[in-house]
A and B are shown apart, each in its own frame.
Chain A
Amino acid sequence: MSGGIEIPVRVVEIEQATATVKRFRFAPVSGEPLPPFSSGAHVVVLMPAADRTIRNAYSLIDRAEDGSSYRIGVLRTPQSRGGSAFMHEQVTVGTELKITMPVNLFPLVHAGRKHLLIAGGIGITPIFAMAEELRRTDASYEIHYAMRNTSSGAFVDELRARHGDKLKLYRDDFQETLAVDAILPNQPLGAHLYVCGPAGMIEAILEGGREAGWPEENLHSERFQAPPTGEPFSVRLAKAGIACEVRGDQSLLEALEQAGVDAPFLCRGGACGQCEAAVIEADGELVHNDHYLTEADRASGAKIMLCVSRLKGRELVLDL
C-alpha cells in the first residue's frame, strides 16, 4: 500500500549541476534493471532522517538505457522542511535510499501535433525527459526555459547539445522574460503546452493559454508543492481507532505515517487524488491546499487531501 512497491537504490554519482541544484544518479541495490518509465514521471524518495522518514517527490530526468540507473535533480530550497536539505547535506556517494515505482501524472499527449515545453528553474527536470522522448520519436516541439542566469549550466549545455535551436533561453539577469503571448500565436491546431516551474509562473502561463483561446485539454502542468505549514491540530481515525497530533511543520499525511498508518499516496503535492479521505467531523475549518477537489467537494466539507490540506481548529475525525 502507501506509495506501492519500494525499490532500494544506492547513490552512485552526485553532480553539482548549478549553484543550487544537485543531480543524483541512483542504481538498484539488487542489480535488477530499474523499470522503464514514460517521460514526465516522478518517484518519491524515502529519506531516513534521524527522527523520521522524509518522503519527497522528484521528477525523473532520465534512465540509463540498460536500466542500470535513474537520475533526479534536487533544488536546495532555503525554506526546506528537511527533504532538500537532507539530499544536499546528508547524502553522499554510496548512501542507500528507497524510491517508489515511477508514476506519471504529467504525460505527453502523443496524439498532439506539436508540443510546447515550458520550464522555470528546477521545473526543467520533467521537461528534460519529455524533450528527449520527443526528440527520439521525431515529434515537433519547442523548449522554453526560464532561469536566473547561466550558472544553471549543466542542464543548458546538455539541452543545447541535444535540441539545438529548438531550445530558447530566458535569463533573468539579462532581463529576458518568457512572455506566453509571444509563444502562443500561430501554433498549429492540435498543439499541446506543458509547463513546470514555480507556482506563479505556472498560473501565468496557463492563464495566458486560456486567454489565447486554448482549450483546457491542451494545457498541462505539474507543480511539486511542498505541504503548506500551519497550526497544529489533532486527528482521529474512526475505523482504525488511532489518534495523533499533527505538528505545524508537518502534513496530515506525514503525521499519520509517523503514527504507523500506511496511508496511500502518489504525488504528495495535492494533484493526483490518491490520498483523498472522507471527513466525518471537523471541529474547525478545513484548509484545502490541493488542486484536485472540485468546488462542490470543498463546499461539502466531506473530503480532504491528506498530503497538503489541514485543519484550522482542534480535531479532525476521518473515516479511515
Chain B
Amino acid sequence: MLAATIKSRPIYEGLRLDGRAKRHLVAAEGEGALAVLDMLAGEDAALARATLLYAPGGSAGQEHGAKLAALRPDGFHPLPTQPTLLNRLEVILQTATMGTRIYVAGTEGFIGKVVALAQAHGVDPQSVRTEHRGSLARRVQCVHCKGMTENVTASPFVCSHCGLNLFVRDHYSRRLGAFQGVCVDAEVPGEIPPAEELFR
C-alpha cells in the first residue's frame, strides 16, 4: 500500500559529467562507487580536477574503494562512515567556489543527506547530480515523535523511537533527507495492514 507518487519524491537522473565544471566534487557510499567508476573511468581531464569522498557502508569487503583510488583523482578521501564523510564534505564546501559541480551516488538516505548539506551551503538541489545505487531502504521520520529510523525496507513498520505503527509515505523532506512515516492505526488501534517489503 504505497501512496501514489507524490511530487516531493526525488528523481535521481544518474551521474553525468559536467564538462564545463572547473571542479568535480564527488561523494559516494557503498554501491554508489560503481556509478562513480562509470562516470569517471578514462576521463583524465576531469579526474585531474576531481575530489572523491567514499564511505564503503554495506559494500565493505568488495574493494570498491581500491578501484576508486586507482582512478587517481586529484583528491581521494576514503572515510569509515557516512557521518565522517559528511564532516569532511562540510569542510570542503566551506571554501568551495562557484564552478564546482557536486555529484552524489549511493542509497537514498545518503543522497538526501549530501543534498541537504549542499543546500545549507547555498547550492540548489536541482544542480546536484545524483544516482541511486544499492538498497532502496529509506530513512523515515516519524511525524508524531520526530524520531528518525534508518534503513526502513517495509511499510508499515514500527517506529524505533515511539513504537507506533507507521505507514511510509512518498512525501520526502529535502531539508531532513527523509520520508514521512504516519501512524497507520490511529483510528482503530491494532488494525494494521500486513507489512510489505517495498524498499529492498
Contacts and interface: CB of A to CB of B under 8 A. Distances in A.
A292 interface: no
Interface residues of A, number: 21
A184 interface: yes
Given A111-B119, A189-B122, A211-B20, A216 B127 contact: yes
A260 interface: no
Contacts of A186: 97
A22 to B, nearest CB: 37
Interface of A: 109, 111-113, 184-191, 210-218
Given A188-B97, A189-B96, A213-B101, A218 B121 contact: no
Q: Which 8 A-B pairs have the closest CB atoms?
A: A190-B122, A215-B127, A213-B99, A217-B124, A113-B122, A189-B96, A213-B21, A187-B98
Nearest to B49: A213
Interface string B8-35: 0000000000101111000000000000
- Most B CB contacts (10 A, CB to CB) among A111, A189, A191, A210 go to A189
A109 B119 CA distance: 12
Given A187-B98, A190-B123, A217-B126, 8 more contacts: A111-B119, A113-B122, A184-B98, A212-B20, A212-B98, A213-B99, A214-B98, A215-B124
Contacts of A217: 124, 126-127
A203 B97 CA distance: 23
Contacts, number: 60
B94 to A, nearest CB: 9
Interface in B34-81: none
B100 interface: yes
B20 A210 contact: yes
Given A189-B93, A190-B121, A213 B98 contact: yes
Contacts of A112: 122
